[in-house]
Amino acid sequence: MQLVFASNNKNKIQEIQALVPSDFKILSLEDIGCFEEIPETAETIEGNAILKANYVTKNYGYPCFADDTGLEVDALNGAPGVYSARYAGEQKSDEDNMNKLLLELRTANSRKANFKTVICLNNNGLQYLFTGIINGTITTEKIGTNGFGYDPIFMADGTDKTFAELSMHEKASISHRGIAIGQLIDFLSKK
């Protein structure tokens, strides 16, 4: 099966390709000739996933899926949430985003947080949503060099390592994106 993943984020594409069975071929936006930045203007994580999937379906005609992910921190009333990628500004710097978050949490009583991924699948004229959530805490410093985004400061409940200390396969087996992709794969394999 061949599906377009509405992203040019090499890290996400690599992570997702590692999660799907070998008979699934994941195409990036670049693979279908889409080089424009798809606007993420929705107020919710679900909304942004839907916007991206609809953009590809409407403009390129492919069955596709798109995801959006946010880090939701309890002490910040769910922020950065839908603004996770550009929390410290439009330059979308992982380092700047982490530094801002660590600064804002320096006196917080709670460091509880969760990662939430929503995948929107457009296939055969129908739309489906899949959601993965992993609970954890924000560390007080960056630890580890793997992964991307907030991985060096997020430790999932039940583990003693940040996402950035885990291999891609270890992270995928417990992560928000891994949970959502698992739901997508289960759904597609029953079709």
Domains of the chain are 2-189 (3.90.950.10)
Rounded Cα gap, residues 63 and 124, in angstroms: 7
Report which of 111, 127, 108 is spatially closest to residue 119, judged by C-alpha positions. 127
Give Cβ neighbours of residue 61 (< 8 Å, ≥ 6 apart): none
Task: List the Cα angle 91/120/33 in 5-degree steps.
Answer: 60
Residues in the chain where the model's pLDDT stays below 70: 191
Produce one character per residue of 156-187: b if its CB has 16 or more CB atoms within 10 Å, e if not: beeeeebbbbbeeeebbebbbbbbbbbbbeee
**Percentage of the chain lying above the pLDDT 90 cut:** 75
Rounded Cα gap, residues 54 and 133, in angstroms: 23
Using only C-alpha atoms, what is the Rg of the chain?
16
pTM: 0.91
Rounded Cα gap, residues 57 and 90, in angstroms: 26
Helix axes 10-19, 176-189, angle to 10 degrees: 50
Supply the residues annotated as catalytic. Answer: 68
Q: Are 108 and 150 in contact (CB under 8 A)?
A: no
Rounded Cα gap, residues 72 and 152, in angstroms: 15
Give the model's pLDDT for residue 13: 84
